[in-house]
Each structure stands twice: as structure tokens, then as C-alpha cells.
Structure 1
Amino acid sequence: MSHQNAALTPRHRLKVAKLVVEDGWPISEVAARFQVSWPTVKRWVDRYLVGESMYDRTSRPKTSPNETPKTVTKRCVSLRMRLREGPVQLAARLGIAPSTVHRILTTARLNRLSYVDRATGEPIRRYEHPHPGSLVHVDVKKIGNIPDGGGWRYVGRKQGEKNRAATPGKPRNQYGGPKLGYAFVHTVIDDHSRVAYSEVHDDETAITAVAVLHRAVGWFAERGVTIERILSDNGGAYRSHLWRDTCQALSITPKRTRPYRPQTNGKVERFHRTMADGWAYARCYTSEHERRDALPDWLHHYNEVRPHTACANQPPFSRLINVPGQYS
């Protein structure tokens, strides 16, 4: 359709052309009668002579050499659905510009994670401590263990129940089914750099939490980070005397969030969501042991390779200034 301010509609364009070609009117007289320019009448006459339509041509080019290949577009959409990563992270995987990824996701109506993933609906309030170690967040992520052969998320409910029942070496409940138990991922993440340290254990007791803290302090110290304060929720392990005494011995000031307010500890909560999508449920693991073995490689990718939007699209390690060998 022609635009609303067009002087000639397709019907009048055809009439103009017929007056010139069939009735022999001069182009100048037809232009004056219809109050359009001489080149306008000539354009529709030429189209009529070659048998073309009187409707507007599409502005789309016949060829687009720089068009994004369909295979890349399909892979971008697939990765978005599976990994729930943003344009910057997907661009690094696909080797294209983040703006191109955003255009693809917008066209596919996947440009907001709320369309494909969990969303709290809470407004985002960003803050950041001035240097690494000024504050670290700590929390525990509880996930179900995977039976041998794969869990129901990938093999289906029926096969998942069969794999669950066939998993050896597990205690049985009152109905004879195996108790697979849970895996507890203990995480310590730096507020400024977003560098994360995680371990998987079979419990979330104070003894385990304290042991993880000792190892995390040493791990961060090797990378030039001295932990000054630590923020946790109100879990039993973090309210224990053992946790308090350990923090005091390590010269760390312990802090706790307001009860029933996980948003205060939002950085580690968001990391656990990223970890769940990128590691815990990223692919079909055939056993719990296989999934736990995959955690160190994923943490390395997250800390040193994966672009982070809060770090100016650089990996979290780029914000650490005293990492050995960083400037060699």
C-alpha cells in the first residue's frame, strides 16, 4: 500500500499510465491535471509499459551479503533457551556482535529472561563495594542428586524413576525407593569482582561451612584478595558460635541479611541461578559424580573466560589486580 500522503493511489497510477500510453496524452498535461511532477508520471508510464505492478515496491534489498546466517540465528536462539545467557555471553560463544545477538533475540521475542526463565518482579537496585575483598557473599545452594543413568529432566519421568530405583548403594525409604539425597553447593563470591569459589558437599552443617571458608580465604589470598567482611543469610551454620569464632580468628567481620530478605544477598543468589543454568542442569549427566567433576571446569570458565556485564563485559578475573602472572 502507498503511504497516506501519496498523491497517486495504485488505481490513479494506472489511470495516469493509460492516459499517456493508450489515449496519447502528453506527459506534461497529465502531470498538471493530477498535480504531480513530470518524473512521477514518467515513472508510472514506464512501469506500465513493461507490465509491472502499480503498487509500491518493497524496500528490502534483493541480496544481503552481510545477513546473519540462519544456522547462527538458530544456534543463538537454542543457546538462549538452554543456557539463559545474555547478549554479551552469547556473542562471545557465537563470535558475533552483542547488538546482533540482541536483534536476533528481539525478533524471536526472547530478549527478556522473564519470557523464558524465572523472574522475581523486584526492581533492580545495584551497588558495588570499592575493591576486591571489601565484602564477600556466602550461601548454600541445595540441589537433588542425579541417579545413575540420568535424571528426569532429560530422560523423562518414567525413565528417571527407573534410573532412580536402579541406583546402587543408596538407603531405602519406607516404600522401598532409594534416598538419593541432596548436594549442597557452598559458594563464596566477591562483591566487587564477582569472582566465585564453590565446593559441593553432602551437608550444610557449620563444620562444613567453616571448612569451606578456610579454603576460600586461602584461595582468594593466593590471588591477592584479603577478605574483610562476609555477608550471609540466617541459616543455622552462619548463626553458630563456630562460624562467629572462625570469622574472628580470620579477622573477618561477619554480617547477616535481614530475615526473609534474600535480595540483600542478591549477588550470590544470582550466581547460583547462573550456576544452575550453566552447570547443574546444563546437560544430561549420567551420574552425580560426573556432574560434580564438571564443576571446576565451569568455575574456571565463569571466572576467567565468560564475559560479565557487571565487569564491563570482561571476565571477573579482570578485576583482580594482584593475580600472579597477570601482567607477565
Structure 2
Amino acid sequence: MTTTPAQALGALLLTCLLGLTAAQPSISLMGPTQRTTAGNLVAFNCTAGPFGSSDFYVTWLKDRDEHPASAQRLVTEDKAKYTVTSKVWVTLDRQDVWSEMTCEVTHRHLAEPLRKSMNLSQVLRVVPTLKITTKPSGMQIHVHQRVNLTCHVSHFYPSHLHLTWMENRHKVQTVESPPVTRNPDGTYSLEHTWQAEATLNGSEFACWVVQDEQPPVQANITLQAQAPSLGKGRSGHSYALKGPLQRSEPGSSIQLTFTSPGFPTGQVTVTWLKNNHRLLKSQTSVHSLGDSYNVTSSVLVPLQADDVPSLVLCHVKHRSTLVFQKTISLDQYLRGKDYLFVQTG
């Protein structure tokens, strides 16, 4: 088959074009295949070529600043073609979300340097810091009050994570990809609130955060209600249980009185028992004082000659929670010639 001059010229041009294309040097940049936490070293590898001679130079930049690299390695290929590889080690920082690494290769036959960049956000993981706050604060929490627990998850990257609330080591809520806000340094933060009921016994709450398949990060808090306290601005619990100042003869009655201010609600029940039998001659009053309640309860206790070992129990509940319980020995209030009296505190 005879080839025409036009066909021969076309084949020659195609061969030259392929040769020129094949000879064009290129550059590639490889980084870690998995994310790494801030504070750790990671490696980047840059490869460029082929070149017709070995007079080239590799420069590494972190943002606009030159970064030292390990020695470059020269590879000689067939037909005097050269390829260069270079490695750099970088310590990741939490602030590197906006940073990038650039490999730049210059050669005398290149009109412009070859450049390849990689954002450090592709390889960086920033572990969040966690804390839990309460509203209202711990000193203002009353029994059965609903309290907002807020988990503050601060400065993490990337944005995807899931959050779990635990109560006494039992899962109560899991949130996949909760809404986040962007920080000026490129990291993310979020707040998530869980509402719980305060008790006198207290409960242990934990906020768990998991990024990808990493170990969880957690914060813990104990939510415990404060029992009624004495007045505004004073700490601790104040309960008073008083009896008469003088002893009485058998056959008479004495009055015992319980008082306590500062209850958050008026749902207070006072029960009086003598030797485990309920005393019926009692009276309880609850008075509102601004945002708190004062409680006074009195009972008449009949004294008998055999009451030396007898005990009276005062039992106080706020709603359904026991807040006060005390036993009084009646021998300290009996008067008579034939009794041995023992004073108790």
C-alpha cells in the first residue's frame, strides 16, 4: 500500500507531538493516607520529572515559609532522563487547618517552576476539649428541679462526630453529626444540652464524643440537689429540732418542734413517730417567703412512767425525697425520783 505525502507528514507530526507530550515533566505530591492528631510528625513525598539533565532544585514551603527537607534522591532513567524525589517531615499543629504544604521544583529548561500543594486539613485531626456546665448552677439546684446540662465540645477537626449522653453509665441519648460552629482558626465547636432531674442522692452524667473510629473523649459531672438551706447567702443545711427546757412529770405532755427555712416548694411532709407508732397530735405549717418556704411542725408527746427508753422520730420529706430524720430520747424530758436520766446530744 502506497503512502501519500500528506499521510506521511501527518504521521510525522503525530510522532513529534507524542514525543513532546511524553517529554513534558510533571509533579506529584503524596501525604499520609490517614488523619493524624496535632503534635505528631507526618511525611510528604514529592516526585518530579522526567528532566533532560540533573540541574534541578526542590523547595518545600509551609504556607509562604521555606521548610527544611530530607536529602533529595535522583533517579536516572533510560535515554538520560532524570526524576527527582524529596521527602519532608512536618509537625502538625492545631492551627494548621488553614495551612498547606507546597513542593516546588525548578529546572533550567522550565519556563516556570513545577508546583504541587496539599492542604494540611486533609491529614489533620484536632481532638476536642470537653466540659459540662449546669444551669442553674450547683449551689442553686433543688430536689426534683429540672436542670440543663450543657456539653461544650471545643476546637475539633474535622467537623463530623457523634455525641452520647450517659447517666450512671447507661446511655440516654446519642446524636449523630450535631450542628457545629466554625472557629476563626478553622476548627469547630458545638454545644449540646440534655435536661435531667436533680436528686439528693445525685447522679453521674457523662458526655462522650467520638471522631471517626478514634477512642472517645469524655467529660463527667455529678448532679446533686442541695437540701433546703438557711436563708439567702448561707451555705449548708439548717434544721432545728427542739424540746422543752425543763423536765416534766409522767402523765403530762411535752411539745417538740421542728423548724427549717429555705425549701424550694411548699410540698413538705413532717411525720412524728413514738416507738414506731405515729403521733396524731401534730400540726405542720408552711409559709411562703419570696421564692422559698419556711416549715414549722409541732407535736404533743404524752409522757409515761416507762418512757425512759422511749424514742421519738421526726421524719421530713420534700416531695417524695427524705431530707431530714432525727431521733430524740424521752428520758431527757422525764422527771422523777426513781429514774436514771441520760442526757443525749
TM-score range, shorter chain: under 0.3
Quick one: higher RCO (CA 8 Å, sep 6+), 1 or 2? 1
Higher normalized helix content (fraction of residues) = 1
Q: Which has the larger radius of gyration?
A: 2
After TM superposition, the score normalised by the length of structure 1 is 0.25
